Structure 1
Amino acid sequence: MSVTSARRRPTIHDVARVSGVSRGTVSRALNGDPYVSPAALAAVRRAVTETGYVVNRNARSLVTQRNGTVVMVLSEPQEKLFEDPNFSLLLRVATRRLAVKDVALVMMVAGDDGDRERVVRYLRGGHADGVLLLSTHAGDPLVEELEGLAIPAVACGAVLGREGIIPYAAADDREGARQMTQYLVEQGRKKIATITGPLDTPGGLNRLEGFCDVLGRKATKKLIVHGDYTRSGGEAAMAELLSRAPDLDAVFVGSDLMAAGALATLRVNGRRVPEDVAIGGFDDSAVASSTHPPLTTVRQPLERVAEETVRMLLELVDGATRPESIVLATELVIRDSA
């Protein structure tokens, strides 16, 4: 018999013996009981490390009626998960924050009807304690399904039409768009256009509203083209703007990824940035510093957004009343494109 197979798996009794506290105290500490003293909690944590004890999720779920799992649902086509760096950042931060509470994160895509049905089946099966919604569009039938399941849900960014029902954490998209548009005006730009995100998302709608807040009647339909938060969408939207208004001298683009596409189109058409056309993005993602020239953009605190949504969801899972949604400030980041 090998040494590995002969070695007994550590148990909760071993943790109690090494920590010097009762088995009941160990159990309460492992299940997050707030009444466990700091000294006892520290002793249990040290004993867990020393013994190599691993919590048995199946046993814990029988006691707590929880699975120790949260599902993050991306309401976009699968390819966007890999193209847009914002999604990978949100996923990474949420995974890290949940791991601190010994909660696993499952990523699911709900980009079409078939995907949504699979998500609903999974949740109906009782496989998750809560849901983190990502990039949810207005009127998404998945939201109604979630309300029927009565499963705790929190959104990264508001769900349009459900702001008072589903709590969320979000950047102040409208104010960030105001900051960027005002900056372009102050740079002496006279004909400023915008490429929006989808208007059934809070970012698409609120950033357009911020643009219009600053320009007022100068924000004409001719200078507004709708994009889809992809690089190719930014390329196509920029081409459309140049055909409509060849004398434009600035563009506020609703995401860094679309702005990268817009830069490519301007380059193909012989327009210099920022000499002929100034470009401003939104996100301050990794894309912003890698374009040529580097993007002037609006920084949104995505790490904090992810942390706040995890906090709110765990509170709901623990039985708390609906937490207050939170809107976080943005920051203008000036680089070479404007």
Structure 2
Amino acid sequence: MRLRSSIAGILALALIAVTGCGGAEEPAGGAGGSGPEKVKINVGTIPVLDTAPLQIAIEKGLFKKQGLDVTLSMLAGGAEAIPKLKGGSLDVSFGNYVSFFGAHAKGAIDLKIVSDGFRSAPGTHTIMVAKDSPVRTVADLKGRTIAVNTKRNIATMLARVAAKAHNIELDEDKSFVEFPFPEMESVLKAGTADAVVVVEPFGTLIGRSIGARVLWDLSQGPTADFPIAGYAVTSEFAKANPDTVAAFQRAMAEAKALAADRANVIAAIPKYTKITADTAADLAFGTFPTTLDATSLQRVTDAMRESGLLDETLNVQDLIVAGT
């Protein structure tokens, strides 16, 4: 399990073009018995641990089983999904809930959540600093810069919640700078930012590669077992394609049930990244809920309001498309 090379080199390979399901099968049939309204769908994804069930669904032919032909499109973050969903280049997309709920609340897009994606666990989301950094506590982040993959999303909110617990107020515009996850090692090495917010597998890889330290685990206290991300469609798509959405939900529910077995996730990771099975076995794993729970997702909007990312309460129940 030696990992001495630069993470930038390793993870450049991780951002591979992911192949779709391909092939054609007879539709499994939805509520109306006629199969999905739209068979070929484009799904936005990110090459992180959170999306392992999506890869499992493809590998195991679970989308084909439901009559769907899925093509995956790689994204830098959940915020990128918004214009692509609205513009129609994506039919479904994985993304963090903060980006999704924020865009919906502002009227940028009318969204529906069709599948829960990932909940945090110790080690899945962390603030990290360079090995020799003078930053030793969260309080030391006052007046410093933190790199995140995108602003006003789950990363900045979790960091702000952690800072607030240490009587530090972080500013969305002044405290954060944006860099893709694969560049976080270089950011720390060059001192471009004082700290980085990373998710697995990047946290483990950065730690091994340059000895970066975990300053704070973002899955504890008020953000323990926190809903991180899910899969969304536009309301227009959900209304026009109810059987397609239901087919996607069934495939993902089956895949997430398989993902409850850690061995299946470990086996999947090397197939959509260049991370070895040995390294995958050492990653921190969260959970993959098989159903959508409005009460749990409401925690996200409550935290968003406390962080100033939402002006008014958002009723998550109105955004959920119940599975079949």
- Band the TM-score falls in, shorter-chain normalisation: 0.3 to 0.5
Higher RCO structure (Cα 8 Å, ≥6 apart): 2
Structure 1 or 2, whichever has the larger Rg, is 1
Q: Give TM-score, length-normalised by structure 2.
A: 0.41
Give the TM-score taking structure 1 as reference length: 0.40
